[in-house]
Structure 1
Amino acid sequence: MPDLAKRRRTANLHRRLALGLLLAALVAGCSSQRPAMRPQPGAQAEPAAEPGAEATPRAKTSRRAAQKRQRKAELGEASFYHPSLEGNLTASGVPYRAEALTCAHRTLPFGTHLRVTRLDEARSVSVVVNDRGPFVAGRIIDLSMAAARKLGMVEKGHVPVRLEVTRLPSKPGRAALGR
């Protein structure tokens, strides 16, 4: 009989040990590490300046690139935001408003003013970049509903357009973003 009690205690110990290991594995599996932050293009941390060294403005490079783009028109397809996105935050932190003349562009700085011209009807509208996108192949800009209406593209969904930069933000990061 003492042998049977010893086996039961050993079996209970094994069950408790297995249950403890299972619980530890579950807790470890539910925990998460923060993903490594990837720096945004043009938003790299600047190295500390050495005493006596002249500071070089790093923000100028992205502005120069935008100025080069200002001289060239960009051709492609435009689409517009779905009405259900009203109120969602844009990449610039401003809530999307369907009635504002705003847009999403993949690379232009927030606050950049664009003239968007519909190529098949020669209609145009002026908009301000306040979001990133579109993320559909062949599309170069997502327009707010108000801008899409001005271009007469709501029924069609997407149309060929030409983008021209009309004004760059005076101070990157401090521009009026279609509030």
Structure 2
Amino acid sequence: MVIIWDKLKQLKGELKGINAYMASYAKQLNQARQQLERVQGQIFMQLFDQALFDQEKVLLAEIQKWSLIEEKVLRQKSRACWIDSGDANTKYFHAQMKIRNAHNTISSIYTENGIKLTEPKKKGPCLIRDQKLLLIEKVTKVEIDQAIKSMPHDKSPGEDGYPIEFFTSNWEMVKEGVYDAVQ
């Protein structure tokens, strides 16, 4: 785990340079929007110019690309803001925790017949020896792969701040380190 942590810390420094480049997304997006307005104005004047329609199509694709980048950047910034000040003992933090706890609490369970169960049974079936042994088996690489692939892509799995997209898109480079850390 320490090896992976050190590598991710080193990578963070490199990513700051990329972040500076990506910060120009707003400028790129505005330029593309201005060009689109100009081209659409020309289309209004020259209705049958196919080159203008092709140029419009390219600009729309570019606007979509930069809009997606903007959305991802804003999502990451909001996550970073929450990490920095989310638990600052504010009313907002407590309201969010109350909502989260209410959402993650199981208050009752219904049987197949629709009967509401409120008191858990104290006595019930226990695990047999084979089931207990299954629980302590070594985690396989296939299980780790399945767990990584099943995680939500826009969520960060820990305090390192790297979303699961980072791990899945760079899986060939990081998988052995992750296997070692988990096993």
TM-score tier, shorter chain, comes to under 0.3
Whose Rg is larger? 1
TM-score normalised to structure 1 length: 0.22
The structure, 1 or 2, with the larger RCO (C-alpha pairs under 8 Å, 6+ apart) is 1
TM-score under structure 2 length normalisation: 0.22
Greater share of residues in strand: 1
Greater helix percent: which structure? 2
